[in-house]
Amino acid sequence: MGPWRAVCKMGITGDMRVLLGRETGPRAAILMYHSVVRPGDERSTSGPGNPDYEMPLHLFSEQMRMVRKGSYRTLALDELLDADSPVSEHRNVLITFDDGWSDNHSNALPVLNEYGLKATVFVITGFVGKENYLDWGRLREMQSGGVSVQSHSHGHRPLSLLSDGEMRSELQKSKRSIEDRLGTPVHFLSAPHGMVDRRLIQEARVSGYRGICTSEPGFGHQYGSPAVFSRINISARLDAEKFENVIRQKRSAVLTEMVLKKTKNFAKKSLGYERYRKLYELRYPK
């Protein structure tokens, strides 16, 4: 058995196949970013702390130039779901941002506009307007510039650990806040901490979501109701060649990410999420 097939048999990948069934549709590289920082930005105040979630602006600009130069088709999640056929699916790229950091507006948006690329930002509605986070005015500007604004829950709590009522409140309050403030429908959720289980899938369906984005690396997605999407975290460690292989949907490009993700999932399961989170916060105090 080759390394790729061995990884595919590990951990949550097999569980998710059982959970989600076999519905499939177009493949796409869904890129996951968080903060986009300029030289000299203080990590203690401007970003999430984990360097894997902080993309230097010059690298982000180069990556977006590669997407544009390669004639890749940047899509919104609705467009991916509504695609009539998988024609040119190996040219499908979706650009997403989690959390709603203010630098998504100041640093990332001008680059997206320069290259004419679509993107989606998943905001934690309870954090909107707080220091270093986007406010509703900037979110409206981003939306006017072609950025889709979707939900990353209201309080960024791990939804799978909440009661049914708490989970429902997180999903519905976030969805309603964005729709009321921005006047556009919210169909998609980025699961906080990447945690997805059967209860969340069922509750997202009831709450009117068409899809859930995870942090499980891969290019294939489960097109159920709701759909469950894989995404690839794009960090500064990814050089230009590896980034190109990601947007070209080469399986070898995400093998390391898959192994790392399986290791994290195993640690969460073995230690328990609360203990795992305490260790994470010791490593990244913010």
pTM score, whole prediction = 0.84
pLDDT of residue 7: 33
Q: How far is CA 283 from CA 52, 143, 237, 277, 279, in A?
A: 13, 35, 18, 10, 6
**Residue ranges per domain, the chain?**
23-253
| Structure-derived torsion over alpha carbons of residues 5, 6, 11, 12, reported in degrees to the nearest 10 | -10
Residue 251's pLDDT is what? 87
> 3-state DSSP helix/strand/coil percent for the chain, to nearest 5?
50, 15, 35
Contact 98/116 with Cβ under 8 angstroms? Answer: no
Coil, strand or helix at 34: coil
Distance (Å, rounded) from C-alpha 25 to C-alpha 23? 7
User: Could you tell me if 179 and 206 are in contact, meaning their C-beta atoms sit under 8 angstroms apart?
Assistant: no
C-alpha to C-alpha distance for 217 and 265, rounded to whole angstroms: 12
Q: Give the mean pLDDT per block of 10 residues along the chain (286 residues).
A: 35 43 77 93 55 91 97 93 66 96 98 97 98 97 96 95 96 98 97 93 97 94 95 93 94 76 63 58 59
For the 23-253 domain, the top CATH level (class) is: alpha beta
Long-range contacts of 269-274, Cβ-Cβ distance < 8 Å, separation of 24 or more: 273/158, 273/161, 273/195
Report the alpha-carbon angle 84-76-182, nearest 5.
130
Half-sphere exposure at residue 72, Cβ-oriented, CA atoms within 13 angstroms: 29
Helix 240-247 and helix 57-69, axial crossing angle in degrees, nearest 10: 50
Q: What does the pLDDT read at residue 51?
A: 75
- The pLDDT value recorded for residue 222 is 94
Cα-only R_g, the chain: 18
